[in-house]
Structure formats: C-alpha cells, structure tokens
Amino acid sequence: MKEQLLNIKENALKEINKYEKMDEIEKLRVKYLGKKGEITNILKGMGKLSAEERPVIGKVANEVRGEIEKAISDKKEEIKIIEKNEKLKAEVLDVTMPGKKIKIGKKHPITQMMDEVKYIFTGMGFKVAEGPEIETVFNNFDALNAPKNHPSRDMSDTFYIDENLLLRTQTSPVQIRTMKSAKPPIKIIAPGRCFRFDEPDATHSPMFHQIEGLVVDKNVTMAELKGTLDAFVKQLFGENTKTKFRPHNFPFTEPSAEVDVTCFKCKGKGCSVCKGEGWIEILGAGMVHPNVLKNCGIDPEEYSGFAFGMGVDRIAMLKYEIDDIRLLFENDMRFLNQF
Ligand SMILES: [Zn+2]
C-alpha cells in the first residue's frame, strides 16, 4: 500500500509539471485529492491492515497528500504570474504609433459673432443681461411705448401664445426688466434669440439674434451714444471705420437714428457687400423715450439714457460674406467648417 501511495505521488508530480493551464491543474487536483480521487480510493482499503501497519500507512498517506497539495498550489501561483505577464505584454503601449486625431467642435458663426460683440462692450464696462424668450405683451410692446396700432404688434408679425404672452420680437424687454429691477446707473447689453412671423428667405428667418445695449444715468447725452458706437464699430470692423447717423423713428427712443458704417470691405468706395453705396446700415439707436423710463419707475426729469440694437445674424452675414441667412441654421458641416 505504501508502494502504491508513493507511485501516486510520483505520477502526480510528473503530471503537475507537465501542464501549464489553470483548468488542467484543477483537474489533476480532483483526480488525486478529490473525494473520489486516487488517494481516497487507496485509503478505503485501510480497514484490512493490521493495527501496527495502520498508523504507518496513515502517515505516508498524509505526507503524500501534503506534497501533492503543495505542488499544486505552487504550480497555480506560477501560472498566475505567467498569465499576468502575458497580459501586460499584450497591453503594452506603442508610443511610436501615430495618434488618433480627435475631432473638436467649434463655435457656430453666430456664437462667434455674439462673443466678439460681447467682448467689445464688456471691455467698455457693460454687463451682460439676459431674459426669457417667452415674454409678456407688456414688456415686449407696452412698456416700450409701442402704440396699440403699431404694425409690429399685428398677429401676422408676432408669435402670440395667448393675449398676454408672446415669443419676444426683440431683446428690448430685457432692458425693461433691468430698469424695473435695478436703480441707475445702468449699463447693460442684452444678447439673445428673437422671433418674428417671417417667411424664411435669403434675408429673413423667423428666429434670429439681437444684441441691444442700454445706458441710464444722470446727464447721459447723445454725444456719449455716438462715442460708444463709434468705438464699437472701430473695434469690430477696423480703426478707419466711420459712422453716420440718419434720423429715424422708433417708439422707444426720441430722437432715434439708424446708424451706417463705412463698408469694411471696400472702405467706402462701393462694392457688392455694400451694394455700391460705400455704407452699410448695421444699428438702430436713440435716446431712451421718457415714457419708457416712466413705465419702468425711473424719473425722466432726473435720469436720461441711450439705447441701441443690432441684428447679429446680419452682421455675421456681412462680415463673413454669407448671402443666405438660412445657411446659418441648416447645420450643414460643410458650411459651418468654413468659420
Ligand atoms: Zn463696399
């Protein structure tokens, strides 16, 4: 019996040496040490042994079992290390491989234009103010001194939600909100999306972008308005850009003006961008109407102010020479990647 046990040990150690896979070693463990394994089988015959032989064989059996167990656990450790090394080798980083280029998006031309205008005005001390795109009819029209019969209030020009709410047609209600909630001095620009009931064509879109500015303080004059806009267009279009104020009529300002700048492309000689005029209209402006100040709880005897507004889409189209506003909103990457 001792002979048999030693044979089993020898075979087991040989076999363990031969295999290199975890599952193969596990099979060997079952084969030799399991409940139905070879050692157990032999020990079943212990009953036939004499009382003297039994402890001797028992001792040999334990030694054999111990050695096989140790050989198996050593082998398992060895396999674990080999597998780990192989895994590391497979995952090794080849730093000489050419990298994968990551595509980074960029800002939409309208956003770029907005940022540029915001940058110029914040540099002059203006704060950026924002307001909701769904507005009250009061903030969008009444507070801005728009008479009840003003054409812009028509159902065919404005998206009404109900009789008191609409999609704002301009960013001017942000001026109203600011004047109602803050005391002068006020110096803000209000950038944002606006909506009008326009059939889309090359120059019209039912959704467009505006930036308006508002200054309210004691003794604010038209000269300051002209100086501010002059400084603005020089930064936006170039140092030699000139401005021209033409009288106009807006309900919310008095006096009101439309502001032209010398064409940034031909410098005033006349070209396709300025349609041969040498001048391009880009802004509406004026001194805040006393009624608007009154509507917001500001005393027009004590305070005065100026306001201006521009269409961001229009300026972007002029600056980037885009001939159709719809291109800005189609999200065609071939178009957008040019800016
Ligand atoms: Zn021109």
Q: For residue 199, report the distance from its CA to the centre of ligand 1, in Å.
A: 28
- Consecutive H or E run containing 288: strand 279-288
- Any idea what DSSP says for residue 91? T
Residues with CB under 5 A from ligand 1 (ion): 263, 265-266, 271, 273-274
Among residues 311, 283, 312, 310, the alpha carbon closest in space to that of 110 is found at 312
User: Residues comprising the binding site for Mg(2+)?
Assistant: 254
Q: How many Å is the Cα radius of gyration of the chain?
A: 43
Residue 36 has what pLDDT?
Answer: 85
**Sequence ranges of the binding site:** 254
Q: How far is the CA of 205 from the centre of ligand 1 (A)?
A: 24
The answer to whether 175 touches 309, Cβ cutoff 8 Å, is: no
pLDDT of residue 212: 97
Per-residue pLDDT of the chain (339 residues; tens, 9 = 90+): 788 888 888 888 888 888 888 888 888 888 888 888 888 887 788 788 888 888 888 888 888 888 899 989 999 998 999 888 888 888 888 888 888 888 888 899 999 999 999 999 999 999 999 999 999 999 999 999 988 888 888 888 899 999 999 999 999 999 999 999 999 999 999 999 999 998 999 889 999 999 999 999 999 999 999 999 999 999 999 999 999 999 999 999 999 999 999 998 888 899 888 889 999 999 999 999 999 999 999 999 999 999 999 999 999 998 888 989 999 999 898 999 888
* Closest to 257 in 3D by CA, of 224, 222, 292: 222
pLDDT at 278: 93
pLDDT of residue 328: 93
CA of 122 to the centre of ligand 1 (A): 29
pLDDT digits (tens, 9 = 90+) for 105-157: 889 999 999 999 999 999 999 999 999 999 999 999 999 998 888 888 888 88
CA atoms of 126 and 111, how far apart (whole Å): 18
Could you tell me the residue ranges of all domains in the chain? 2-90, 109-336
What is the CA(204)–ligand 1 centre distance, in A? Answer: 22
Say what the pLDDT of residue 184 is.
Answer: 95
pLDDT of residue 109: 93
- pLDDT of 285: 97
Question: What is the 169 CA–ligand 1 centroid distance (Å)?
Answer: 30
Q: Taking the chain, what is the end-to-end CA distance rounded to the nearest angstrom?
A: 90
- Ligand 1 centre and the CA of 262: distance in Å? 8
pLDDT of residue 4: 84
CATH 3.50.50.60 fits 109-336, yes or no: no
Could you list the beta-strand ranges (E) of 31-112.
none
Distance CA 58, CA 311 (A): 99
Q: What is the pLDDT of residue 325?
A: 92
Q: What's the CA-to-centroid distance between 62 and ligand 1, angstroms?
A: 103
pLDDT at 56: 85
Cα-to-centroid distance, 241 and ligand 1 (Å): 12
C-alpha 266 to ligand 1 mean position (Å): 4
User: Which residues does 126 contact at the CB level (< 8 Å), separation at least 6?
Assistant: 187, 188, 189, 213
**Counting Cβ atoms within 10 Å, is residue 182 exposed (0-12), middle (13-18) or buried (19+)?**
middle
Kindly write down the DSSP assignment for every residue of 131-160, as one continuous string: --SEEEHHHHTGGGT--TT-GGGSTTTS-B
C-alpha 277 – ligand 1 centre gap (Å): 7
pTM: 0.69
Q: What's residue 208's pLDDT?
A: 95
